[in-house]
């Protein structure tokens, strides 16, 4: 079976970063085809020249092969920009109506059974596409996945983060209780049948959170699976729109979640309301409550699916937030009283997690 991964990159005046973005896609190695579509919004900073340079490199080093009525560049000898079975590389540069419109243009041209997008300042990590290909071949029931959160500095170096910062588990109840930060778009991949079921387009009424609104529609149909591997990352720099316009980001997410709440079954909405009301843990059950995990153990040849308990993880998440707050206080005040307080909170967290686990066992 030929797996084709369709990647769309919307871009406008990102000449400083777009070469890194393109290379992170083209250099993916493995048993799959890449259908790469770049939609440039009429940049005037030299972006088009950079995009064209990679097309010329593929033409010079590869032969053409037609698959599913689309032409792919296939490398006949080792070539660092084509290490998979073949690459279709297409791009246009013209005025568009914004981020969502550019994505819709790209996806309407795509053909892959696996879909994703990567903004023109972000990057994929090595072996991301091969991992995704293996997962989708092994698990027919998996419709969309997200890797562990990761990010890059402006110079492209990988930023470090804690385990809980990497593993930001989310499901439909996380969103319905407004705990939505964040499903990392750069590491999210989905099947085309889910895309079609969810409407088959990006909602252009949203200017910043087109991804968050799409996740809400995906949650109406399928569970999200979290892959214990870093797949793609967000690059921090001075002109990130999400950071510059955070109030608008949160406003759009609130609107998207309100739309989700109106469309879910009544029992699902009531269950989320019970979670917000802190109902006793032993009285709460729902088939979509626990987080879905996909991981490959050391030396294993296949991926495995498991679950993480919603309540135990939520307590860890709250403890992590407290820890980071204490670290900030300690840094700002230099207070030595913070350390014993941190130990007390850690002990209390272990007691609460143990109690929650005990109540679930005796009520099961």
3-state secondary structure at position 129? helix
3-state secondary structure at position 7? strand
Residue with more model confidence, 283 or 302: 302
Instruction: Name the least confident of 104-113, 190-199, 226-235, 264-273.
Output: 264-273
Residue with more model confidence, 287 or 59: 59
Count Cβ atoms below 10 Å from residue 297 Cβ, excluding itself. Answer: 10
185, 211 Cβ separation under 8 angstroms: yes
Using alpha carbons, list the distances in angstroms from residue 24 to 124, 229, 275: 5, 16, 40
Q: What is the predicted pLDDT for the residue at 327?
A: 66
Q: What is the predicted pLDDT for the residue at 139?
A: 98
Residue with more model confidence, 93 or 317: 93
Stretch 45-74: mean pLDDT: 96
pLDDT at 358 over 50: no
83, 23 Cβ separation under 8 angstroms: no
User: pLDDT tens digit string along 186-218?
Assistant: 999 999 999 999 999 999 999 999 999 999 999
Q: What is the predicted pLDDT for the residue at 193?
A: 98
Q: What is the predicted pLDDT for the residue at 134?
A: 98
Residue 338's pLDDT band, with cuts at 50, 70 and 90, is: low
What is the distance between the alpha carbons of residues 166 and 189, in angstroms, rounded to a whole number? Answer: 17
User: pLDDT tens digit string along 239-261?
Assistant: 888 888 999 999 999 999 999 99
3-state secondary structure at position 326? helix
Residue 275's pLDDT band, with cuts at 50, 70 and 90, is: confident
User: pLDDT tens digit string along 291-320?
Assistant: 999 999 999 999 999 999 998 888 888 777
Q: What is the predicted pLDDT for the residue at 347?
A: 56
User: pLDDT tens digit string along 151-169?
Assistant: 999 999 999 887 778 889 9
Residue with more model confidence, 8 or 76: 8
Sorted by sequence, the CB contacts under 8 Å of residue 128 that are 6+ apart come out as 28, 147, 187, 229, 230, 231, 232
Residue 361's pLDDT band, with cuts at 50, 70 and 90, is: very low
Q: What is the predicted pLDDT for the residue at 142?
A: 98
183, 211 Cβ separation under 8 angstroms: yes
What is the distance between the alpha carbons of residues 102 and 40, in angstroms, rounded to a whole number? Answer: 8
Residue 120's pLDDT band, with cuts at 50, 70 and 90, is: very high
Using alpha carbons, list the distances in angstroms from residue 25 to 87, 153, 156, 228: 10, 19, 15, 20
Stretch 348-354: mean pLDDT: 53
Percent of the chain whose pLDDT exceeds 70: 86
């Amino acid at each position: 079976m030929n797996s084709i991964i369709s990647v769309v990159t919307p871009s406008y005046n990102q000449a400083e970063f777009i070469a890194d973005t393109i290379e992170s896609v083209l250099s993916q190695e493995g048993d799959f085809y890449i259908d790469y579509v770049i939609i440039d919004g009429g940049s005037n900073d030299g972006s088009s020249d950079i995009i064209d340079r990679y097309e010329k490199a593929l033409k010079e080093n590869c032969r053409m092969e037609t698959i599913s009525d689309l032409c792919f560049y296939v490398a006949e000898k080792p070539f660092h920009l084509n290490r998979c079975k073949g690459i279709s590389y297409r791009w246009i540069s013209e005025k568009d109506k914004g981020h969502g419109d550019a994505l819709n243009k790209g996806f309407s041209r795509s053909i892959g059974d696996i879909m994703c997008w990567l903004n023109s300042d972000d990057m994929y990590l090595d072996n991301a596409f091969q991992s995704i290909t293996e997962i989708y071949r092994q698990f027919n029931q998996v419709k969309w996945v997200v890797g562990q959160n990761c990010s890059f500095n402006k110079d492209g170096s990988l930023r470090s983060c804690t385990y809980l910062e990497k593993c930001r588990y989310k499901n439909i109840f996380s969103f319905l209780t407004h705990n939505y930060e964040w499903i990392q778009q750069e590491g999210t991949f989905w099947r085309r049948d889910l895309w079609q079921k969810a409407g088959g387009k990006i909602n252009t009424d949203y200017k910043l959170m087109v991804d968050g609104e799409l996740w809400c529609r995906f949650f109406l149909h399928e569970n999200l699976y979290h892959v214990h591997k870093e797949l793609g990352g967000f690059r921090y720099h001075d002109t990130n729109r999400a950071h510059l316009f955070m109030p608008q980001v949160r406003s759009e997410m609130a609107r998207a979640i309100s739309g989700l709440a109106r469309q879910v079954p009544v029992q699902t909405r009531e269950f989320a309301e019970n979670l917000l009301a802190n109902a006793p843990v032993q009285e709460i059950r729902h088939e979509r409550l626990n987080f879905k995990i996909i991981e490959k153990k050391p030396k294993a040849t296949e991926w495995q699916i498991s679950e993480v308990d919603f309540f135990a993880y939520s307590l860890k998440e709250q403890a992590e937030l407290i820890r980071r707050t204490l670290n900030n206080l300690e840094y700002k005040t230099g207070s030595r009283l913070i350390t014993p307080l941190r130990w007390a909170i850690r002990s209390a967290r272990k007691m609460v997690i143990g109690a929650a686990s005990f109540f679930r066992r005796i009520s099961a």
